Amino acid sequence: MANTKKVVSLSPVPLYTQIKEVLRTRILGGTYKPHQQIPSESEMMNSFGVSRITVRQALGDLQKEGMIFKIHGKGAFVSKPKAFQNIGQLQGFGEAMARMGYETFSQLVSIKTLAAGRAVGAKLKIKEREQVTELRRVRYLNREPISLDVSYLPKTIGDRLAKEDLAHRDIFLILENDYGLSLGQAELQIEAMLADDSLARLLKIEEGSPVLRIERLTFTAAGQPLDYEHLFYRGDAFQYRLRIERGHI
């Protein structure tokens, strides 16, 4: 009964989501410290005024996010903060190349406004029918084409970007410096594929050449998905380097 932060059921956001947010805030804010036991399910039922099934859904989500862990018969505890977890320092194309003294620029292939569709909408967390901006650019290194970037952004941002000098400026630097959007983390998926006809023509390689396909979803620091990209890198001219840590469990 310590404090009775009532959650409201009239709100459009589900009760268990509200509870999740409250707990997340308390954990990140230090109210609940690592390895400390958090209130039991029945205590939360009382303090939040909800049923056990709702509390359990919130706790289950937090557990699968790695924020807490539960021990049968004992209780739920705050996980150790991820310490070194995501130290994988991604060296972006522009930055890495500039550091090595290479000159790069981008050629804008097309810029369109279209409906998000299911795949893009799901990634950017917007409705299928909402509009997004699609940017296609070929990136050059030493006058050699090295990658095709296909970016999807919410239309509001895409419209502003359309007026910028996309040939020489990095989208992410524009977003951060000019628009004041601070970027958080990104999720990447990397796979190998073969260049089809149109991709081969853009990258000036043979059809059927190996290509690194990278899907990148970038979030703001607040956790809002902002930019969904497909990057196609020439396999013969690019290597992706990263460094990762061993998790401790």
Partner touching 70 among its own copies, DNA, none, CB below 5 to 8 Å by kind = DNA
Cβ contacts of 40 within 8 Å, gap of 6 or more: 75, 76
User: From CA 134, how far away is CA 145, in angstroms rounded?
Assistant: 20
Identify the residue among 2, 3, 4, 12 touching DNA (CB under 7 A).
12
Residue type for 144, please?
Answer: E
Identify the residue among 3, 89, 100, 180 touching its own copies (CB under 8 A).
89
Mapped onto helix, strand or coil, the DSSP state of residue 48 is helix
Name the residue nearer to DNA (CB basis): 77 or 140: 77
Q: Does 8 bind its own copies (CB under 8 A)?
A: no
Q: Does 122 bind DNA (CB under 7 A)?
A: no
Q: Say which residue the tokens 């991709």 belong to.
A: 199
The window from 17-25, 84-92, 108-116, 133-141 that contacts its own copies (CB under 8 A) reads 84-92
The residue count for binding DNA (CB under 7 A) is: 26
Partner touching 164 among DNA, its own copies, none, CB below 5 to 8 Å by kind = none
Q: Say which residue the tokens 């390689």 belong to.
A: 205
Residue type for 171, please?
Answer: I
User: From CA 69, how far away is CA 51, in angstroms rounded?
Assistant: 21
User: In the bound complex, what is the minimum distance in angstroms from residue 41's beta carbon to DNA?
Assistant: 4
Cβ contacts of 12 within 8 Å, gap of 6 or more: none
Comparing CA positions, the residue from 246, 245, 220 lying closest to residue 87 is 245
Q: Does 130 bind DNA (CB under 7 A)?
A: no
Q: Say which residue the tokens 């006058």 belong to.
A: 143
Q: Does 28 bind its own copies (CB under 8 A)?
A: no
User: In the bound complex, what is the minimum distance in angstroms from residue 2's beta carbon to its own copies?
Assistant: 29
User: From CA 204, how far away is CA 142, in angstroms rounded?
Assistant: 14
DSSP state of 49: I
Could you tell me the CA-to-CA distances from 178 to 157, 164, 167 in Å, in that order? 12, 10, 16
- Binding to its own copies in span 169-198, by CB under 8 A: 172, 182-194
Q: Does 110 bind its own copies (CB under 8 A)?
A: no
One character per residue 13-52, x = contact with DNA (rule: CB under 7 A): -xxxx----------------------xxxx-----xxxx
Q: Does 56 bind DNA (CB under 7 A)?
A: yes
**H or E stretch at 104:** strand 104-115
Structure tokens at 63: 């557990």
Q: Does 72 bind its own copies (CB under 8 A)?
A: no
Chain positions contacting its own copies, by CB under 8 A: 64, 84-92, 95, 172, 182-194, 208-213, 218, 221, 233, 235, 238-249
Chain positions contacting DNA, by CB under 7 A: 9, 12, 14-17, 40-43, 49-54, 56-57, 59, 70-76
